[in-house]
Structure 1
Amino acid sequence: MALVLVKYGINHPVEKLKIESAKEGDSIVLIQDGVYWNLQDLSSLTKANVYILKEDFFARGYKEDEAKYSLIDYDSFVELIEKEEKFIG
């Protein structure tokens, strides 16, 4: 299993490739401007679990009820980092 960090917005082609390369059982975390991927339906791109870093999401003006994916805080983010065997940043 792998942890995939997506930190750039929806117009960044490398981020789309990272999302598409994530497999079922992997974890994708949307951080920084990567939270704008919340606007997309990622189920057509990946079977991985998708999370959004709550602080980055709120900092960009979103409200909790606008999240299409699970919101996590920094403590949960650290737990994912510790749990996953591989890291793609």
Structure 2
Amino acid sequence: MALILIKFGIDHPIEKLKIKSAKKEDSVVFIQDGIYWNFENLSELTTGKTYLIKEDFFARGYTEEEANTNLINYHEFIDLIEKESKFIG
């Protein structure tokens, strides 16, 4: 299991590679400008579990109803960090 952190937007080719490399048991967390991946078809890009940082999503003017994946706060993000054995940033 690994935690994959995505912090850049959809124009960043390395981020797309990281998303596609996620396995089913991995967690992919979209933070900062990475939240814009929410508007791509994530189920086609990855089999990993996907999460958006709620505070970053709301800070960019989006509402909870516009989230296409799980919203988590920074405290829940810390829990994921502690749970996962590997980190890809």
Cα displacement (A) at 1:14: 0.3
CA offsets, 1:17-49, max 9 Å, x none? 000000001000000000000010111111000
In structure 2, list runs of 5 or more residues that go unmatched.
none
Question: SS of the counterpart of 2:50?
Answer: strand
In the alignment, does 2:59 pair up with 1:59? yes
In structure 1, list runs of 5 or more residues that go unmatched.
none
TM normalised by structure 1 equals 0.99
Question: What is the percent sequence identity of the aligned residues?
Answer: 64
In the alignment, does 2:43 pair up with 1:43? yes
TM normalised by structure 2 equals 0.99
Alignment root-mean-square deviation, CA: 0.4
| Distance (Å, rounded) in 1 between the aligned partners of 2:46 and 2:54 | 21
| Distance (Å, rounded) in 1 between the aligned partners of 2:25 and 2:19 | 13
Cα displacement (A) at 1:51: 0.2
Question: SS of the counterpart of 1:38?
Answer: helix
Aligned length: 89
